Structures are given as C-alpha cells and as structure tokens.
Structure 1
C-alpha cells in the first residue's frame, strides 16, 4: 500500500495554495456602475487555470505562483496594474446585452494573516451604462475559476449568484427584484456542498472511507454515517448562524491563532484515529459511536469554513444552508457507493459465494481500465476531478488488485479484512498522521 500513501500524500493541501472562489460586489445607480472583486492576484498573474485544480501546487506554473507570493503587496499591485489590459479583456459585464467599458479604479493587496493564508487582492472598477438599461449580466474567463456575484445597496431583492466555466450570470434587474427563490437557492447550493466532498474534500473522503473499512456491513456503517451526519449538521448550522464566533475570539485573543488552524489538524487526527481502530477492532466498539460524533462536530466546523467563502444569501439563509448540507451528504454517500461497488465482488467471495472466476475477470478489467485512465489522462476527467486523474485512479487500481488477491486467498480466514480492509486502513492512517503533523507543526 506504499503507492497509495505516496499518491495521496503528494496532494496534501497547504492553505496558501488552496483555490478559493473570487467574490464580486456590484453597485449601480444613474448610469454609473461600481465593482469590487476580491481575487487571488498571484494565481491570475501566474496564468494558473483555477477552473481545473483545487490546489495551486498541482498547477503547471506552481513555482511562478510561489515566487509571486514572495513579493510585497505593493509589488503585486504594480504587476497587476501592468497586467490590467489582459485581465479586463477576460472580464465582461453586459447592460441589456451590450458590453460596458471599465477603467481601473485602484488595486489593493491585503497582507496575509500568516504564511499559510491566501493573500487577497481587491480590484476596483468603474464604468458607465445607459441610464435606461434594465438588466445586467456578469462573467469572466473560465481560467479564473468560480466567481460569486453579489448585487449591493438594493432594497428590493438583490441578486446573488455563482458563475464559472466562462459563462455569464442569468440577466438580473439593475434596480433589484432578481433574487433567487428559496427553492432556487436550495438547488444552487447542493452542487457547492457536493463539490466540497467530491472531488475537493480529500480529507473528508478519507474519513468516510475510514468508516467504511471498519466493517462492510450495513448496521455498523449506518450507525457511523448517521452519527457523523447529525454531528456535522449541528456545528455547520451553529457556525453559519454565528454561534461559534466566540471560539475564534478566544483562540485569537488567548493563543494568537485562528480557530480553524486548530480544527484542521484535529480533522487530520480524526482520519488517523478511525483508520487505526479499524486495524485492531473487527466491529463497532462501545466507544466508537461517541468518538465518531465528536469528530463529526469538528468536520462540521471545517464545512462551515468552506461555506463562509461562498457566503449565504440573507433572504434565503436556511434554504442555502440546507442545500449545502444535502450536497455534502450526497457526496459522502457517493464515496461509500463507489467503494462498495469496488469491493462488492470480493466481499461476496469472502462470504462463500462461488464466483471466483467472475471476480478475477471483473477486477482484471477494472484494474486495466484504471491503469489506462492514468496513462491516457483524458482532459475531460481532469476537469471532472479538478486535478490529476492518477490521484483517484491510482488508489482505485490498487484496491482492485487487492480485491483480486483476497479472492485468490479466499480459503484463508477473513481474507477480505486481512488483504483489503486492513491495508487500506493502514494507508489512510499514515496519510491522516502525515496531514496532522503538517498542519500542526510544518
């Protein structure tokens, strides 16, 4: 399983390299439109395709990004101003279908709180539009990633939306009245929650797989997933409502450290714990449900930090929160379903079904398919995975190989557990421990 460990540890995220959505705030009145956009200027200057990665370490020009991060805020502002023509050619605002011409109204690069934080740059733009225009549309080049568009200073149902892939927002009324309905907001936040698990939430994926590999039986799996869901739903809701802000204040005032900097190492530790317990216990221990619930509370705070990046519309706060949580749950269930499908044939043979040759053929085909995907590295799968195909196809290929091996040694006691579940848990434990050390000490 050393290959699995190598594959996934190489993707361990550093907060300074995380890809975050950009946020646009728009105000318009009497033919004048003012826009402020919070962006990762270093990523834009380095020409990194923010639509296809979740971590700039995986970008082709990662070294250029790191070199730009080493520059002072004023140097970045100067470079962005020099690059203004390129940026503005990739940015579009339409008034009744006609493009608005903007001029640079200033660039401010805010110092990062620490070396592990993404540095935010605020771009200010001003333009003019026909006073009789009724609708705006906003968009930018797909390479710039996700853009959250917010209409400000509007009393009458302001528009809030998300755009990516080089598309434009739907038309929204300049004077307000284009706010999404509760159902629309609910539906729009489901993919945001799902995306945070698959493919972006590698740490949460490994935690869920740690729950799965305890015992591939319905009762212990349902108990664990249900408790985990209940716990992270509680803290996600409390954090979104602002009821956990006292923790931020306490850790900043007492230890001069952000609370999320405590949560992230503990999430990594939770991954290591569940995996280690899988190795030494064959079923649901008396204490494991309580531990899973406690870890679920931590993961909920991690989900909340991501949701804070997107924000919640004031007029539809609850639908957005529920939609995000539903997306998270669907993502978790998708992870479990995929892994269950991968090991199902090996489990059937381990439980006495005479399907040996069928299992060998099936895992042989799956293994070859996974290797072919790694070799071909098709762009469409890179886009779906938002990263290198080998990061997911490589571990799956190894799981298929281990499943075939467990079928070969089917006459041994607990062959599936010894050959598949325990090695997989060892790999997950090592990755979790590595992430804990990295996030806590490096």
Structure 2
C-alpha cells in the first residue's frame, strides 16, 4: 500500500478512542448565517453526516443574520438595532421568516443527499425541526418596544430528546413560537445556551471565522477555563461574542464548549478526533486534570517513561515495582491520556521527601506541565509535614536549580536512600527547603 494510504490507516486507528468516547453523546452545533453562506458550508454538512453515522446525537442551530439584513435592504426597509438587538416589526418578520426558512430548507436538502461518489453516499439521515422553542416578546426596554423580537420562554427538552433517541438530527432556527400563534425573532446565541443546558449536552461547538480564540500576541489559545474566559478583553467583536456564549453555556451546566472555524475544511473532525483539536476549548473544569495515580494508570505511565528509561535518563521500573508504588505518583491527564507524571517518596524519619520520575510527553513539552506537577508535589510534601525535598538527576540539574533547588552531596541524603545510591550513574543531588 502507498505510504499516503498507510498514513490514513494509522490516523483512522488513532481515532478509535475518540469514536468510542463520542458515541451516544449529545453535541449542539451553532453556525451563524456567515457560515451558511461560506464556500466551506457543504463540507461542514458532510462532516455532520459523518458524525451522525458514528452514533453521535446532534442538534444543529443555523443563524441567518446577514441573510435577513440582505432581504431587508432589498425590500427597502430600515434596520433598527438597539444595544446590539434587532428590532423586528410586522414588516420585518416576513423577511426574517423568509431568510430562516430558506436556510432551513437548504440544510435539510443537503442532509438528504445520497449521490454516489459523494461524501453523503449511502446516508439515510432523518432531519427533525419544528416548534421546539417557546418564546415571548422582549417587550419595552429603555423605552424601546422590541415588538416581534423575543426571548426564550421554554425549550421542549422532551421533544428534542425523543427526536434524538429516534436517530434524527434536530435542526433549530432562530425563531420561537408563542401560545398565541406569534412568531418571534430570537438570538441564536441564546437558543444555543438554553438548548445545550436543557438537553444536558456533552458539548456545545461554536463556529466562527477564525480558528478559535487568539491571545494578545495573536497566538491561538488551545484552552481556557470559564474564569479565564470571563477575564479576557478581546478587541475582536465576533470572538468576544463566541467566548461570552461559551462561558454562559458552561455556567449553565455544559461541561465543554469548543470554538472552531467554519472556513477550515477539516476543523470539525480535527477538533473531535485529534489530541489537540483545531480551535479553543472552554471548559467548566480544567481540561488537563491533575490527580493521584491509580492502578489503572500503570500502562499509561510505563508508556510515558519507557523512552527515558531506554536512553538512561531514568532508572528502569518494573511493572511490579510501579504497582507497589503507584500511590506515590501524580499524573496530568488530557482527554483520558496521561501526558505527564511525577512521584513523591517521603522519608518521614528525616523529614524530607524524594521527587522522582518527573516526565512530560514530548508532544506537550514547553507548557510548564512538569513545573505544575512539581509545585503540586511540593504542596503535598508540606501537607505531610516534610521540611525539604530532594532529587537525584543526571541531566536536568539546571532546571531544578531554576526552581529553587541547591546542589548538595550524597551525605545529605537520608540513610536509607544513601544506601541505594547508584555510584555508576553518579547522579547529582539537589535539595530544596520548603517554606510554610
């Protein structure tokens, strides 16, 4: 088989954990009207069809803001905006329904494709849409009557869940309906947050023009917590809006929100089926979890430390020894994968502890993950009442010195540890006093 073909096979193998993890989960996808008119929109729909075939429960929200603006302009109607909210009068709502209906039909048609030699070949997708969003008028705000611009009153969780249980893709539009038979123009962001929270979605995926959220220096932020997101001041209005929507969703109970690009052909699949994704993750909890290791982590730790054992940087640890010492280890886990580890061995009689096996996966070096684990184990040592920690190292002495360690001698080691000192390795001994 050609090299390129084997590369695809290996990639497909690597997606297996993600396929298994995502199957049966519920994702809400929000695409604005800008995404719907982008040349890459058909590719996104094809990828959505693929996700459906993999057993992922999908709710799609597609906006129509630029399409509405275009129709209003063509009709010679003036757009009235108050605090960023469109005022929808009786004349405007006709064009709102026209734009929203046209996009809904377009998406339904694209998801109905099944032509040979196309990404949709063989697909049989049921699309469900309807009056799943109950709405009421915003009313008069700051003396301005918003007329047929509304706010969400209720999301029909049972109806959406039933449609998802039947294997359908649920398609929602930025419209809501009232018991009096009125149609209201709603905020797409509000529908995304309320729907994801109501159906207890596992993910809310937001599509923007850029790859994700960029930092002060223009770098892509791979992840941030809700607290960090709320503290960001972004000059880009679209990014600020997406970040605010993601934060609201997380605070409403959605554990993870992801912001990706609607212009990137591979963004959706890359975000869901690779380790680092393509955009920015906003999580209600830390994306990279630090915790005490358990017996189930032994395989992952061995895989992490084996290359350094083979190169002589670390002493080789057998599986049996690791099993006996597993509670001394702390790991950093990213999406179920162990990407860093470190261990603390206390010597209570000498009031000190040894820090050992501080290892970070080569793919994740440069993010101060080793320092994070070092700091956590130092805090644990203080909690145990230890006065100092020490390390034995052959190649990373400078790094430890930068973290406040000072070079010492074998004689400073606890007697028990000194007796096990490997003269052949001739490791440097470094100590650090712990302050309260």
Classify the TM-score, shorter chain: under 0.3
Higher RCO (C-alpha 8 Å, min separation 6)? 1
Structure (1/2) with the larger helix percentage: 1
Structure (1/2) with the larger strand percentage: 2
Larger radius of gyration: 2
User: What TM-score results when the alignment is normalised by the length of structure 1?
Assistant: 0.25
User: What TM-score results when the alignment is normalised by the length of structure 2?
Assistant: 0.26
